[in-house]
């Protein structure tokens, strides 16, 4: 057996054992044990654990966390806005930027859009205190750069989709007109 083959076999066995079920249990003396073999019947509080995943890799980057805290992102859209608003979502998702999308569906939200952007055109991207009304990938990327967001490819891309259109609020039923009193004969 060559040394290369021996190393391969040892690596394969080590990898297989890494995928084994993990257990956490407490013995009679109160000591906590983590093992890949089932605990003895006398063990207290035995639990199966999934220790394979690296939770550190699931966290957002420091740069992204700081940008989210300092310059949260809000995207204003209309339900009828298709291509330009999808382009804005694509820019944000490509860069892995979490964002709040406000779908303008009533007068109050329309007034908010006008107050924020000075107009009624969408999409409007707000990054912290910066308001970007030019609907282009270059303008939106520049606003995200200024806000401190990582460039595309640095963090895992997002997959946020268009929000569902709001359901119309039901109007209260109108009272049936009361019958007019009969005219005297």
What is the pLDDT at residue 156?
A: 83
Question: In the chain, where are the structural domains located?
Answer: 13-50, 59-146
35 Cβ neighbours under 8 A, 6+ residues apart: 22, 23, 25
**One CATH from 3.40.30.10, 2.40.30.170, 3.40.50.300, 3.40.50.360 for 59-146:** 3.40.30.10
Task: Name the phi and psi angles at 131, rounded to 5.
Answer: -115, 120
Share of the chain above pLDDT 90, in %: 46
Q: What digits encode the pLDDT tens for the residues 18-32?
A: 556 787 888 888 888
Task: Answer whether residue 78 shows pLDDT above 90.
Answer: yes
The count of other CB atoms within 10 Å of the CB of residue 20 is: 12
Task: Answer whether residue 60 shows pLDDT above 90.
Answer: no
Q: Which two tokens stand for residue 160?
A: 């946020």
Q: How far is CA 45 from CA 12, 23, 40, 136, in A?
A: 32, 10, 11, 57
Three-class SS state of 131: strand
């Amino acid at each position: 057996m060559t040394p290369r083959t021996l190393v391969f076999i040892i690596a394969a066995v080590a990898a297989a054992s890494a995928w084994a079920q993990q257990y956490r249990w407490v013995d009679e003396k109160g000591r906590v044990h983590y093992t890949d073999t089932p605990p003895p019947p006398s063990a207290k509080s035995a639990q199966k654990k999934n220790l394979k995943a690296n939770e550190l890799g699931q966290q957002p980057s420091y740069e992204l966390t700081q940008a989210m805290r300092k310059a949260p992102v809000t995207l204003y859209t209309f339900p009828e806005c298709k291509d330009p608003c999808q382009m804005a979502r694509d820019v944000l998702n490509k860069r892995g930027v979490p964002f709040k999308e406000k779908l303008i569906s009533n007068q109050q939200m329309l007034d908010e859009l006008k107050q924020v952007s000075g107009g009624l055109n969408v999409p409007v991207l707000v990054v912290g205190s910066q308001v970007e009304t030019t609907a282009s990938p270059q303008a939106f990327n520049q606003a995200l750069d200024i806000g401190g967001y990582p460039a595309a490819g640095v963090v895992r891309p997002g997959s946020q989709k268009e929000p569902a259109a709001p359901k119309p609020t039901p109007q209260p039923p109108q009272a049936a007109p009361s019958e007019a009193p009969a005219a005297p004969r």
